[in-house]
């Protein structure tokens, strides 16, 4: 791929079918976006990307949809055949007890930010990376933890598993106590073990007196789901004037849907689909929209630099205990 611009953007999509976000038929509803009144899911996202020569990174979770693994493999196969970039996402807290017993492991700790064992983190990452690779025939290049729940064990496990890119750093997640550490930056950096971190693009919003610190996420759609105020104003229709040279958008496979009164994803209309089309159209005018493989190529060529190096030990739960290192 030829890159004609000096600015780069990543459209990342957490592709998941978590149990509490639908009453039934989870993969069809939350991934394919199929509903009685219409459809708005990964097919529509992919089609919009193709209109503007843009590919997404679909981070696919096989844990939350463990009961629907065959259907999720169909999703992986379809995305790969469409030329999309399929990488690893994991919500192991939703895995059934039988899964852990089968592999001779305890069900707890549930959340990856609580893992004190590199071996446990490496098992989860290797196991589900291999499931994805078995479908695509491709080596996994990137990982994003479910709900940004990660720690030093995660970063060391990525290195051990040969996965070069981490998409986990989020100050918003740190302040929500979903991870024990995050570097206050939106630019790529390198961990001390060589894993490259690609932070979610965020910006600090000065808090009101007596209120906690705010970090707003670059996500579609603008939403109260993450409880952080949007800072980019009219970005969804017009690129912000103070545009960064590198940015990472966060979406989900259900981002074109709405939440109904039961807290379940539901199709209402095409308003968000058309809003996403406008976003990708405007973004593609000023940015090269890249994949994980593109990032590695550009990094090797020196066109995207890792700004600094961070010691993996700063994300160690035994030393940080939920506090941000100075």
Q: What is the rounded average pLDDT for all residues in the chain?
A: 90
- H or E stretch at 265: strand 265-266
Whether cis (ω within 30° of 0) applies to the bond prior to 72 is no
Ramachandran sector of residue 94 (left: φ over 0; alpha: ψ -120 to 50; beta: rest): alpha
pLDDT top residue among 218 and 3 = 218
32-41, 84-93, 114-123, 201-210: range with lowest mean pLDDT: 201-210
How far is 302 from 305, CA to CA, in rounded Å? 6
What pLDDT is attached to residue 243? 66
Closest CA to 72 of 21, 26, 23: 26
What's the pTM value of the predicted model, to 2 decimals? 0.91
Name the token pair of 96: 């059934």
Whether 188 shows a pLDDT value over 50: the answer reads yes
**What domains are there in the chain, each with its CATH number?**
8-320 (3.20.20.370)
The per-residue DSSP string of 11-44 comes to EEEEE---GGG-SS-HHHHHTS-EETTEE-SHHH
CA distances from 127 to 90, 165, 299, 304 (A): 11, 17, 28, 31
Q: What confidence tens digit (pLDDT) does each residue in 139-162 have?
A: 999 999 999 999 999 999 999 999
CB atoms within 10 A of CB 305: 13
Per-residue confidence at 208, pLDDT binned at 50, 70, 90? low
The per-residue DSSP string of 139-198 comes to ---EEEEGGG---HHHHHHHHHHT--EE----HHHHHTTSSS---S-SS-EEETTSPEE-
């Amino acid at each position: 791929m030829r890159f004609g611009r000096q600015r780069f953007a990543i459209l990342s999509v957490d592709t998941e079918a978590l149990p509490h976000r639908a009453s039934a038929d989870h993969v069809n509803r939350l991934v394919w976006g199929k509903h009685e009144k219409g459809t708005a899911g990964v097919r529509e996202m992919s089609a919009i990307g193709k209109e503007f020569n843009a590919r997404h990174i679909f981070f696919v979770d096989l844990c939350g949809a463990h009961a629907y693994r065959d259907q999720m493999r169909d999703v992986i196969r379809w995305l790969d055949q469409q030329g999309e970039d399929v990488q690893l996402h994991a919500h192991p807290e939703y895995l059934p007890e039988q899964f852990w017993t089968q592999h001779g492991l305890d069900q707890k700790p549930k959340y990856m930010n609580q893992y004190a064992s590199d071996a446990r983190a490496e098992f989860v990452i290797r196991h589900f990376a291999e499931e994805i690779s078995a479908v695509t025939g491709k080596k996994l290049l990137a990982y994003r933890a479910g709900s940004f729940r990660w720690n030093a064990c995660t970063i060391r496990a990525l290195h051990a598993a040969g996965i070069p890119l981490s998409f986990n750093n989020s100050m918003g997640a740190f302040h929500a106590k979903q991870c024990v550490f995050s570097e206050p930056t939106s630019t790529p950096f390198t961990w001390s073990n060589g894993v490259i971190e690609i932070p979610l693009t965020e910006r600090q919003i000065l808090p009101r007196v007596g209120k906690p610190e705010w970090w707003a996420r670059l996500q579609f759609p603008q939403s109260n789901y993450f409880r952080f105020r949007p800072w980019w104003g009219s970005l969804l229709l017009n690129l912000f004037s103070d545009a960064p040279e590198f940015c990472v958008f966060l979406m989900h496979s259900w981002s074109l849907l709405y939440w109904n009164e039961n807290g379940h994803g539901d199709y209402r209309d095409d308003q968000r689909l058309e809003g996403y089309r406008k976003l990708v159209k405007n973004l593609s005018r000023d940015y090269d929209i890249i994949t994980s493989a593109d990032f590695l190529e550009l990094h090797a060529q020196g066109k995207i630099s890792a700004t600094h190096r961070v010691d993996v030990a700063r994300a160690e739960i035994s030393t940080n205990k939920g506090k941000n290192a100075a």
